Amino acid sequence: MKKSNFIITAAIILICGYASSFAQWQLQKKLSGQPMLFKVSTLSRDVAWIVGQGTQYVYRTTNGGKTWIVTARVKNTTGDQCTTGEALDSTTAFVGTANSSVNAGIYRTKDGGQSWQRVYLPTGTKNNYWDWIHFFNAQNGIAECYQETPGQNFLIVKTTDGGDTWTPIANQPYSDQNEVGLQNAVYFYDNLNGWFGTVNSGRAFRTTDGGNTWNGFNSGNTGVCVWAVRFISPMVGIRTSLDSPPYLTRSTDGGQTWTPVSNLPVSDIQGLATATSVSTPSINQLWVYGESGETFMPFILTSIDDGVTWQEQTTPDLLQTQPDFPLVYHMSAVSFGALKDSVQAFAVSLKGQILNYREKIGFVTAVNEKRPNLPLEYTLSQNYPNPFNPQTTIAFVLAAHCKVTLTIYDALGQEVEKLVDMEMPPGFHQAVWKAKNHTSGVYFYRLTTENFSQLRKMVLLR
């Protein structure tokens, strides 16, 4: 994929919650020397770690990204370079490496990055590139490395003692001709269900037993790089591709079959790269990063209906990167708060840029400043789909900044749920009502502001 200069148009995004600020991806930090950043692990509202490529440095924050501390170098005598990583808390983290001449190792710090020790080195056939590391909890983890020659087994190892020792699994997945692993293209929904993507095959591998056995499935088009895989349940998820359409596919059977996602809000897409998500008992939210047009303009899309429909969010001005690689290389998000109703997310670029996003989960609004004609009339749209099961989207327009309530009622006029109750800016807004715990029948929803009130009917049909 050839690249040119990036031109970014500004936008204003709101995710239900912080009325005092606009919800958008912000450029939080530009690291000195513009190191290539390949992996970010977001652990909480305050703690995150970043690993770069072509450097032996790792970065850490304990205050939500206000400051980033460079750790001690991951020193070694064999020339290992950092490629991926995984953090457990503010003091313990792991780094996977690459080496062009000998086997590459896994390193660990237990003192916040003040020192690093190698905890695993493969033996035998050259395994020279660690793609990903994942920990289920403080003791149990898994990692994948690909061998120098495509068409051989992937190397997958597991630990049950916090990373002190690592053991290869008994049934290593076999790669196709020219197929190799891809950095950080992995996701585990829970302790059993996980997936990872590969290069040059279009396959996504799936495990349902915590990584002991794996099966590969075509993810929508052959011969492409499966750049990211994200699932918001053991059955429902997405995968992205950077090479050729369909750039976004969706699965509802755990990754065994995939369907292209159409009607994306961005035209002339050149590819979709990294993705992230958060899942809570009440709502799920997905994000994907891509580039479009002849100038390869960066954009970020989000979905709050399990990947069925998507809306564009804003991105800040970003520096151009090298050809054939996406600018933003990895994203990571985590829910936080007493109700787990807020999200902290970071994204990292190949030019040492760190993006930050902190908002409420599940309510999305976008207003593009390049199209400055804001709506002058309040509008409450008919929900879609209607009838619906089990969820539906309600869109509305605000003509001015105001206090807004969006309330659901049953057929008897009893209040069922208040979807929105907050100050909001003017623009286009939408909310998703998940009605899986409610019975079939007629329901009503009312939008109320100081100067506007409208009631509409909808039907839940099971």
What is the per-residue pLDDT across 70-87, written as a single tens digit (0 to 9) for each? 998 887 767 788 999 999
Q: Is pLDDT larger for residue 246 or for residue 361? A: 246
> What's the rounded Cα separation, in Å, for the pair 218 and 200?
11
Amino acid symbol at 240: T
Q: For position 283, what pLDDT does the model report?
A: 82
Decide if pLDDT at 267 tops 80. yes
CATH superfamily of 11-368: YVTN repeat-like/Quinoprotein amine dehydrogenase (2.130.10.10)
Return residue ranges of the chain for CATH 2.60.40.1930. Answer: 379-460
Q: How confident is the model at residue 54 (pLDDT cuts 50, 70, 90)?
A: low
335 — phi, psi (to 5°)?
-85, 150
pLDDT mean across residues, the chain: 85
Q: How far is CA 201 from the centre of its chain?
A: 22
Q: Per-residue pLDDT for 4 more than 70?
A: no
pLDDT tens digits, one per residue of 291-350: 888 778 889 999 988 999 998 887 877 765 444 578 898 999 998 887 788 899 999 998
CATH number of 379-460: 2.60.40.1930
Instruction: Tell which wins on pLDDT, 250 or 281.
Output: 250
Is there a contact between 38 and 52 (Cβ–Cβ < 8 Å)? yes
d(C-alpha 378, C-alpha 112), whole Å: 52
- Comparing 323 with 162, which gets the higher pLDDT? 162
User: What is the reported pLDDT for 401?
Assistant: 87
pLDDT over 50 at 2, yes or no:
no
What's the pLDDT score for residue 256?
96
Q: Which residues are registered as beta bridge partners of 454?
A: 447
121: pLDDT strictly greater than 60: yes
CATH 2.130.10.10, the chain: domain bounds: 11-368
**Per-residue model confidence (pLDDT) at position 448:** 95
Instruction: Tell me the C-alpha distance between 277 and 53, whole Å.
Output: 24
Give the H/E segment covering residue 36: strand 36-42
Instruction: Verify cis geometry, omega within 30 degrees of 0, for the bond prior to 281.
Output: no
